[in-house]
Chain A
Amino acid sequence: MNYYSDNKALQHYLRHPLLQRIVAMKERDYVHCKEYDYAPVDFAEAVEGYEQVLNLVGELCAEYVAPNAVRTETEGPSVENGRVIYAPGTEENLQLFRQAGLMGISLPRKFGGLNFPTAIFTMIQDVVCRADAAFGNLWGLQDCATTIYNFGSPEQCAAILPRICAGETMSMDLTEPDAGSDLQSVRLKATYSEEDGCWYLDGVKRFITNGDSDVHLVLARSEEGSVDGRGLSLFICEKSCGKVHTRRIEEKMGIHGSPTCEIVFDHAPAELCGSRKMGLIKYVMSLMNGARLGIATQSVAIAQAAYEEALAYARERKQFGKTIINLPPVYDMVGNMQARLDAARSLLYETARNVDMNYQFADLARERTLTPEERAESKTFSKRADALTPIIKGMGSEIANRNAYDAVQVHGGSGYMRDYVCERLYRDARITSIYEGTTQLQVVAAIRYATSGFYTQLLQEYLAADVPAALQPMKERIEAMVAAFNEALDKVQALENQEALDFLSRRIYELAAYCIMSALLLLDAAADEELFSSSLARFVAIAESEVAAHTTYIKNFTPELLTQYNK
């Protein structure tokens, strides 16, 4: 078994035309090969290398990580004397990934990383999380190092990044008991000691994934007396200081292999990362955008795992004298799981490519001034990345939940039992629509791109492409959905009522999402009909019914309805 080679969709996205540009920028036109013996000489070799590494990860995930997931969850992590002890299976997975050199995927080579683009990191994460979402979290936190690379000092980069590439783990310590979705309320205190010439952290953080990490990124209040986000700074705190302790590990519903910790900073020495007061407004926003793409990836991976489990069971299980996959109510579920999965993955990689291009321009800007054309282009990619990330994070996680729900349903009573993987997926999926910003917060982040007409404009662009004649009817149906979306949007805006807009924004968001996912899947089908056209037909049918439901709701909506809700 190999979780990469059995996944044709991933192989398709590895060959997307935009990747050629992303890689050329990331590799600075392939000059690194003179300096590093593992740097590619050209695009063809870069892609061959990505594919070999993806195959390696696919093999490790299918043969070790997925089989380990069951006992990792049962054994779980524990805490002793303020230190977290991972489940033995987690420890084995980490050891394997360290030996395989998979701990610094996207960091630059000068810090010992593989220098892979974000789109490729996303594919690797897609493979890892399919095997075990909990391990995917621990492993995926390596991406926090990008924040140090982007905003830390050269000394901090040189001191910390090589250790991350060698396998030290990270955590991002943001949430506190009274600061969850509202991070502006963070209270953990940072005080500067003139005498020692360093900062000290005091306070408690809660719900911290991998809270006993080697390197912590901590959001803390550096400006005494301040109350909002402008008084917060980002700090780097090392486990080796011995002043950060895990008080307890939460008893969670799912992702048991990933320790979620309550941690205490007891006058822990820390270094400022970047500039004072920019902690929340700049660095954490960037950190969270990366993390949201990560959770979107984890969601797609869980949706995939759920689909695989349901399909395998439905093809094997016999009832009423036939294999249940042949029963319409069952193939309805299984077939639609695949359609939603393919649509979500299409949007995931479109988002990842835009995020990637945005990163590449930002990184290039560290070396030289961008030309006006480059600046304009960089802005386009940055805006698209910002507009698409909340859509895939929200919709991806909801689809993961839906697929996990249906996977249990296909299994019937057996699916409710611990013996089947779908039961774990059902619990693991639940957190994806909550952490790194709930679906409701994704709606808040996305809605301005709907009301400004940005999604409409993006859809026009996607649908301007020519498609093969066989797909033309699909294209027309998608165009009709887009028209319905625009009409609903106009109606909501004409109300000129902020509360009504907030109330209806989830529906507007989903309308935009269904249109965008349909359009992107259409483009994928245009590039590879055999691989995607069947999913496209199923997804457009689902999307149309969802669009009809939301537009009907909006059409019949009057602000009077808001008074009917108990508050």
Chain B
Amino acid sequence: MSLNIIVLAKQVPDTRNVGAQAMNADGTINRSALPAIFNPDDLGALEQALQLKEKHPGSHVTVLTMGPRRAAELLREALYRGADEAVLLSDSAFAGADTLATSYALTTAICKIGKYDVVLCGRQAIDGDTAQVGPQVAQQLGIPQVTYVRKVQAVEDGTAIIERAIENGVELLKAPLPLLLTVDGTASPCRPRNAYRLLRFHRAATAQEQAAEGYKYSAQAQADEALTIKEWTLADVGGDASRCGLSGSPTKVKAVTNIVFKAKESKRYTADSEQIKSLVAELLANHTIG
């Protein structure tokens, strides 16, 4: 049985390699100082999708991202690794979205794609770290969801058998299709880019990129549908503007503070057991641990 699989992916600043210029004075992220990368958990989701495709020949993997136009880079990366089709959801109306508005926008795009058996996404993005978008999309689509997925073992007779990472082990679950899975960091790492696909898909571009000066693969793009990255606006997906972007976001940021730890705020403990006990008690009291 072939499957229609949608992978949700996000281009994020590389917060794993934060340098001195990473934050602006006002506490916001200085995106120009941090390279934009494929959110790591989303790469894990893509790998699960590609493994499913291998097990179910004829399956189709579509990668969907919402973001500014440069997020087309992320879609090309997904094509290099094995995705069949790429969709960029991009509109100024989506700007400033919190997780609810984001999941609404993604849901409208998924509905426009139409057929899907499995929606895969990373557990969370390394910039916001909310882990909310996946579950919210499942809710809005009205389909079951399994979070913290480590591996999709098998899909048969309209049911998926899934390994789910839990605190002290692995849970084995059975869930009906269509369903949404959020993949966590314990899943297999994503396969590398493939040389043949690099040579073919470095020509992949949105209509706007294709129209730009210097794009010389129009003939190839006309002959090879996969070379066109679909770019959809709010109007294309028929969304309700009031539920998108800032206006659709109930989350309001009150303030962002840049905290710099100073030496005088530090405390010193010796290795003596009384001191360690008092440290543990303090950490429990302020909910750092426990």
Q: A residues near B, CB below 8 A? A: 33, 37-41, 45, 48-49, 52-53, 56, 59-60, 96, 99-102, 114
Q: B residues near A, CB below 8 A? A: 191-200, 202, 216-217, 220, 224
| Residues of chain B within 8 A of A33, CB atoms compared | 220
Min CB distance A561 to B, Å, is: 56
Residue of A nearest to B226 (CB): A37
Sample (21) of A-B pairs whose CB atoms are under 8 Å apart: A33-B220, A37-B220, A37-B224, A38-B196, A41-B217, A41-B220, A49-B198, A49-B199, A53-B195, A56-B192, A56-B195, A59-B192, A60-B192, A96-B192, A99-B191, A99-B192, A99-B194, A100-B193, A101-B196, A102-B195, A114-B199
| Residues of chain A within 8 A of B195, CB atoms compared | 53, 56, 100-102, 114
Residue of A nearest to B191 (CB): A99
- Assuming the contacts A37-B220, A41-B220, asked whether A48 and B192 have C-beta atoms less than 8 A apart, the reply is no
Q: In the docked arrangement, what's the CA distance between A100 and B200, Å?
A: 14
Residue of A nearest to B198 (CB): A52
Min CB distance B133 to A, Å, is: 28
Min CB distance A380 to B, Å, is: 32
Residue of A nearest to B193 (CB): A56
Q: In the docked arrangement, what's the CA distance between A33 and B200, Å?
A: 10
Are the C-beta atoms of A37 and B200 separated by less than 8 Å?
Answer: yes
Q: In the docked arrangement, what's the CA distance between A96 and B192, Å?
A: 7
| Residues of chain B within 8 A of A39, CB atoms compared | 199
- Assuming the contacts A41-B217, A41-B220, asked whether A101 and B194 have C-beta atoms less than 8 A apart, the reply is yes
| Residues of chain A within 8 A of B224, CB atoms compared | 37
Min CB distance B279 to A, Å, is: 35
Residue of B nearest to A44 (CB): B216
Are the C-beta atoms of B198 and A56 separated by less than 8 Å?
Answer: yes
6 closest cross-chain pairs (CB), A and B: A38-B199, A101-B195, A100-B192, A38-B200, A101-B194, A99-B191
Min CB distance A197 to B, Å, is: 37
Min CB distance A286 to B, Å, is: 26
| Residues of chain A within 8 A of B192, CB atoms compared | 56, 59-60, 96, 99-100
Q: In the docked arrangement, what's the CA distance between A53 and B200, Å?
A: 12
Residue of A nearest to B81 (CB): A99
Are the C-beta atoms of A100 and B216 separated by less than 8 Å?
Answer: no
Min CB distance B255 to A, Å, is: 39
Residue of B nearest to A99 (CB): B191
Min CB distance A14 to B, Å, is: 15
Min CB distance A36 to B, Å, is: 9
Q: In the docked arrangement, what's the CA distance between A313 and B287, Å?
A: 44
If A37-B224, A53-B199 are given as contacts, then 19 extra A-B residue pairs at C-beta distance below 8 Å, sorted by A number, are A37-B200, A37-B220, A38-B197, A40-B199, A41-B220, A49-B198, A49-B199, A49-B202, A52-B198, A52-B199, A52-B202, A56-B192, A60-B192, A99-B194, A100-B191, A100-B193, A101-B195, A101-B196, A101-B197
Min CB distance B16 to A, Å, is: 13
Are the C-beta atoms of B199 and A100 separated by less than 8 Å?
Answer: no
Q: In the docked arrangement, what's the CA distance between A463 and B99, Å?
A: 67
By CB atoms of chain A within 10 A, which of B193, B196, B217 has the most?
B196
| Residues of chain A within 8 A of B198, CB atoms compared | 49, 52-53, 56
| Residues of chain B within 8 A of A53, CB atoms compared | 195, 198-199
| Residues of chain A within 8 A of B191, CB atoms compared | 99-100
Min CB distance A63 to B, Å, is: 10
Min CB distance B257 to A, Å, is: 35
Are the C-beta atoms of A114 and B202 separated by less than 8 Å?
Answer: no
Q: In the docked arrangement, what's the CA distance between A45 and B201, Å?
A: 12
| Residues of chain B within 8 A of A114, CB atoms compared | 195-196, 199
